[in-house]
Amino acid sequence: MKMNRRVLTLDEFTIQELRNYPGATGQLSGLLRDIGLAAKRVNVEVNKAGIADILGEAGKTNVQGESVKKLDEFANDQLINSLATSIYCCGVASEENEDIICFEDEYSRNSKYVVLMDPLDGSGNIDVNVSIGTIFSIYRRLSPNGELCNIDDFLQPGSQQIAAGYIIYGSSTMLVYATRRSVQGFTLDPSIGEFCLSHPNLRVPETSDIFSVNMGYYHLYEEKVRKAIDIFMARNAGEKVYRHRFVGCMVSEIHRTLVQGGIFMYPAFGKYTEGRLRLCYECNPMSFLMEKAGGSAIADGERRLLDIKPRELHQRIPIYIGSTEMVSAVKETIR
């Protein structure tokens, strides 16, 4: 019987990649599979959120002082359990945990990767049935194999990432990840419960007509930031018209930007003097991914975001990320 060639699953794809790189050990592929498995478990709960008793606040606040929803906790537990069971990860840092978690068993102690994550991003969207996501970032440890990992393994500049990606729980569920070589997008096929390669070799358009920023804070942004935003606001008929989008979930903004191009901005304002989004869990992984797709990301007027050495795990940072031409225009104006 002749079969139509079906699309590759995540596992099939990473194994095929291994064949092209004979020196590779397969550990990163294994780690991606473990993250993918946790994501599928989270996906099932996300889809049930409307009917299960899982909606709403869990009644606690996270280390950022924000209220934690039940799904945040569930996603955090699933990912940590999956990584603890994995033999490819020696430790994890999460937006939901104050400190790093070092896995003590022998296999974990002897594995070379650490993972940083935002287990559930955009959790304010859960109650209103709008997309949410998971973000992850993978580094090679600096501490010697065999020992417990330590904080320095996690505080590396984003340029040192080995891989990074996100899962978006949207109208379909997708897993998108970048390695140093490329960006690949997989869509969950619910009929077989596998992520299938749907967006090979993703490249972000050099420019577009979409800009994204929380305009509610417009008057609280610094003047030079307001001027940068003004680039995208048409004043006269006949000028180029930009479309404004703001979902309230970074994963969704980045996913749209990757596919359709555009710029996503989260400047500092008010009490968020260092910006609102987290350097290690949100901005570094997304900047790595965007650069690998041909786009750019800066932290303020000048600095490439990936060059920043984190001071602390939960540090925040302003970000301007997306199509290179649009990020450059903002950079010129802010400078």
Cβ proximity to ligand AHG, 87 vs 130, nearer residue: 130
From 247, 264, 258, select the one nearest 291 (Cα to Cα): 258
Q: Which residues contact 53 (CB under 8 A, 6 or more apart)?
A: none
Cβ proximity to ligand AHG, 204 vs 249, nearer residue: 249
CB of 293 to Mn ion, least distance (A): 20
From ligand AHG, Mn ion, none, interface partner of 100 (C-beta below 5 to 8 A by class): none
Cβ proximity to ligand AHG, 141 vs 276, nearer residue: 276
Q: What's CA 112's distance to the chain center, in Å?
A: 21
Identify residues 95-114 at the interface with Mn ion (CB under 5 A): 95
Identify residues 177-216 at the interface with ligand AHG (CB under 6 A): 214
Identify residues 42-101 at the interface with ligand AHG (CB under 6 A): 66
Question: Contacts from 185-194 at CB under 8 Å and sequence distance 24+?
Answer: 185/258, 186/9, 186/10, 186/13, 188/40, 188/43, 192/9, 193/40, 194/9, 194/10, 194/11
From Mn ion, ligand AHG, none, interface partner of 153 (C-beta below 5 to 8 A by class): none
Q: Using the rule CB under 6 A, which residue among 92, 155, 204, 250 binds ligand AHG?
A: 250
Residue nearest ligand AHG, CB atom distance: 250
| Sign of the CA dihedral running 268, 272, 274, 276 | negative
- Judged by CB under 5 A, which stretch of 29-37, 39-47, 93-101, 224-232 contacts Mn ion? 93-101
Do residues 176 and 199 touch, judged by C-beta distance below 8 A? yes
x-marked contacts with ligand AHG along 90-119 as a string, rule CB under 6 A: ----------------------------x-
Q: How far is Cα 281 from Cα 275, in angstroms, rounded to an integer?
A: 14
CB of 282 to Mn ion, least distance (A): 5
Beta bridge mates, 264: 212, 321
Q: Using the rule CB under 5 A, which residue among 37, 38, 94, 118 binds Mn ion?
A: 118
Query: According to DSSP H, which parts of 97-214 are helical?
Result: 106-109, 151-154
Q: How far is Cα 319 from Cα 267, in angstroms, rounded to an integer?
A: 6
Residue nearest Mn ion, CB atom distance: 121
CB of 180 to ligand AHG, least distance (A): 25
Q: Using the rule CB under 5 A, which residue among 28, 43, 49, 121 binds Mn ion?
A: 121
At 300 the three-state DSSP class reads: coil
Q: How far is Cα 236 from Cα 252, in angstroms, rounded to an integer?
A: 30
Q: How far is Cα 284 from Cα 173, in angstroms, rounded to an integer?
A: 22
At 201 the three-state DSSP class reads: coil
Cβ proximity to ligand AHG, 8 vs 268, nearer residue: 268
x-marked contacts with ligand AHG along 116-145 as a string, rule CB under 6 A: --x--xxx----------------------
CB of 131 to Mn ion, least distance (A): 13
From Mn ion, ligand AHG, none, interface partner of 214 (C-beta below 5 to 8 A by class): ligand AHG
Residue 16's CB: how many other CB atoms inside 10 A? 12
What is the contact surface with Mn ion in residues (CB under 5 A)?
A: 95, 118, 120-121
What is the contact surface with ligand AHG in residues (CB under 6 A)?
A: 66, 118, 121-123, 214, 248-250
